[in-house]
Amino acid sequence: MDIIESVREMKRIAAAAREAGRRISFVPTMGFLHEGHASLMREGRRRGDLLVVSIFVNPTQFGAGEDFEAYPRDLARDTAVALESGADVLFVPKASEMYPAGFQTWVNVETVSLPMCGASRPGHFRGVTTVVAKLFNIVRPTAALFGEKDYQQLAVIRRMVADLDMEVEVVGMPTVREADGLALSSRNSYLSPDERRSALCLSRALAAACARYRTGERSVARLREEVMAIILKEPKADIDYVEFRDGDTLEEVENADGRTVLALAVRIGRTRLIDNTMIGRGFTWNERC
């Protein structure tokens, strides 16, 4: 596995692969890799001939007062995980090369970026789409893999790729969870053992809503009540949003159906966690529902 810092060198390797007729799979990440990232890499490995994984804690997607400085970093461990998961190239650009002096061009997806995390974190998706567009231009992958864990991010990137005629297949991958339901996230490392227990209210609430949906409940107002009640029982939990939206457009819905995504953002202590599920798909990480 090659570890590449230079944009120019990354472009050269990717261009050579393309010229040789190799399909490039790409997994962009912010590092502190876990089994969720590894599942994307394994699928990328399966779909392509050259697997490129990037690690870049992108400063432009963090707001003032957010956790950019504190965001966990461990390149030695990440290198081992990427290697084990089949990466050929680990691309770790420096911020000074991604955003050199004079940088002033932004990619902004409009409507889909506005609600949910876009409302709580102004400018966040502008940072995401700009860096992903840059990474796509550098790597020019055949396929790029993203987790459904960041559901809105995936919707925003699909929109960007369609709107800007980018020639990349965007592949969404299911959320990988711990045995007790907690969605894997680099930010879980912020949680104390007590907070870790409280954080289970997210997956518990999703599971309960899915179970209610399965018994025939379609009213978003009632499904929301159920979700809120479960989260509000956790003293350490502070709800940022509970949203029921169309899975593609992210427009609000009043009645849930098979296309409805239930998305949550909840602060546990000082850690903001997100999770979601397609409500009709059921929640199958264990036998609970």
Catalytic residues: 37
Residue 147 or 247: which CB sits closer to ligand AMP?
A: 147
In the shown chain, the binding pattern of residues 174 to 193 toward ligand AMP, with x for contact by CB under 6 A and - for none, equals: -xx------xxxx-------
Please list the alpha-helical segments (H only) found in the chain: 7-19, 35-47, 75-84, 95-98, 117-120, 124-139, 151-163, 193-198, 200-214, 220-232
Q: Three-state SS for 182? A: coil
In angstroms, rounded to a whole number, what is the distance separating the alpha carbons of residues 285 and 50? 31
Residue 186 or 277: which CB sits closer to ligand AMP?
A: 186
Is 173 an interacting residue with respect to ligand AMP (CB under 6 A)? yes
For the bound state, the minimum distance from the C-beta of residue 217 to ligand AMP, rounded and expressed in Å, comes to: 27
Residue 243 or 275: which CB sits closer to ligand AMP?
A: 275
In angstroms, rounded to a whole number, what is the distance separating the alpha carbons of residues 18 and 197? 47
Locate 204 and state its tokens.
Answer: 């518990």
Residue 124 or 245: which CB sits closer to ligand AMP?
A: 124
In angstroms, rounded to a whole number, what is the distance separating the alpha carbons of residues 101 and 231? 45
Residues 126-165 that bind ligand AMP (CB under 6 A): 146-147, 149-150
Q: Are 157 and 173 in contact (CB under 8 A)?
A: no
In the shown chain, the binding pattern of residues 25 to 44 toward ligand AMP, with x for contact by CB under 6 A and - for none, equals: ----xx-----xx-xx----
Residue 64 CB neighbours (<10 A): 7
Number of residues interacting with ligand AMP: please give it, by CB under 6 A.
17
Interacting residues toward ligand AMP by CB under 6 A: 29-30, 36-37, 39-40, 146-147, 149-150, 173, 175-176, 183-186
